[in-house]
Chain A
């Protein structure tokens, strides 16, 4: 469709079941081609949100636009892929029949499907197993088949609801690779998950939800207050090195307790400063053992947010205080 149209836009989206809000004032924007992580504990309203974005559930109030149109418009849904949290499919079908049926529903031609089905089966690791009935599949294989269905029609936006819940560690890595490949092809991905590591590794941006409300959203960097923690280990600290480093970033912590080594934690504003840190250490004559940009720790943030601080300003304030103490 139109280039530059946001993959998802919601405004004050709300869903009530028997008077209780499951999703409340949800306002989200997912640009095209972005991998967006939707994080929250069980019962936070993640699946209901996805269902509203797919037209499966009717919102009580608010507005949802997907690929520039309404999810109730079949033409819009033709460009969506969906792996449901409960990946249950017609057990009497073989995987190939299942994909053929879904491909035909999505409007693919028979010839196209003939080429595409073995391709997606291969992608999800079910190459050569397409002739077996789904009734004989294990849970993990069913989830893979569902994933194959989600990416079958080359969608512009894919919803993956807990896509690795039934997969072993290898399967999880494979799903991550599939998501990365989708990103490479310009496909937007909306990833519902409570697995922080999964989201952390693939998502461009994340939103935290709790009780149907978005507590915070943004890139990992933004959520961390825009800083990039860097762990540095050198053999010793030559005079002046710390001063040079404080010029490059915010010096947070220094540990020289262990003889023959010194650890420094530095908060940088931007990752472009990392090479400069390396050069500075080298120029000062210290030997560099480790230079480790630390990913924002999603788990800590998640626990903080979910447990007691629904207010994002509280966290920002705490970060600010921390900086002041150092």
Chain B
């Protein structure tokens, strides 16, 4: 474990030294600033309208506040999307990159097992990606709260599910980087991510159109790649009663938000898939010639 932590530490330092972290922080600040500025303007307009309508104020969880509620939810969808993007891009060459540029030989010639190396890479990049998503979530929800006073019902549960999706994607990308070249891996994991998203869309069309076959296909895609299901689960925790009623009325016409919590089995499966991906990566890398 000491060696795995040493590799994790190396990965973290690598992320800092290759300016990954500083670029991320800068872009995060830009993204949050841009998004929150929009919300400041939105809040001003809404306040203005309620004044013009002669109202004393708006209920935070009422229908009149739906624009703010949806801003927070779409904001969190962007957090999930950026987190996924980051998980794939930062980790895409975690193992293959070091093999391709020849760094791996001198490292593996040391008394470190290959399993330790893979585990360390996953832990290191996982920490960077989780830190990024946590920071982004806190910045977004905190910002919305500071501007409008609105906080989604269960922000921690929602963020937890997004973090799990990030960790799962990081694990799959590490697995891919022991199987494929860096480029092929990046493409492959993004396609998988797309499969998850497709699952969500098929599922919602299936529900909307009452077509069981589509729903089943959607469910299969979600099981294969549960990241989108995790996001939909997170979206449930972000919706107050009024928003859930809208979702229910829409009967799944909106593939971005769900009106039901995620099945516990899918969460367990996502955790299991994360562990399996890391184990698979250690197995694959242990057999590989360098």
Contact = CB atoms under 8 A, between A and B. Distances in A.
> Main SS of the interface on chain A?
loop
Contact of B111 (A56, A78, A89, A146): A78
Contact of A58 (B10, B17, B108, B289): B289
A107 B110 CA distance: 9
Interface in A98-126: 101-102, 104-107
Contacts of A57: 289-290
Contact of A105 (B3, B17, B287, B289): B3
Contacts of B111: 74-78, 105-107
B120 to A, nearest CB: 11
B105 A86 contact: yes
Contacts of B103: 88-90
Interface string B12-42: 0010011000000000000000000000000
A259 to B, nearest CB: 62
B105 A74 contact: no
Given A56-B289, A74-B113, A84 B17 contact: no
A92 B14 contact: yes
Size bin of chain A's contact surface:
20 to 34
A56 B105 contact: yes
B212 interface: no
A77 B109 contact: yes
A25 B103 CA distance: 29
Nearest to A78: B111
Interface string B102-138: 1101111111110000000000000000000000000
A51 interface: yes
A106 B18 CA distance: 25
Nearest to B101: A88
Contact of B6 (A58, A78, A82, A104): A104
Contacts of B290: 51, 56-57
Interface in B227-262: none
Contacts of A77: 109-111
B11 to A, nearest CB: 11
Contact of B10 (A56, A101, A146): A101
A54 interface: yes
B102 A88 contact: yes
Nearest to A17: B289
B107 A105 contact: yes
A177 B18 CA distance: 37
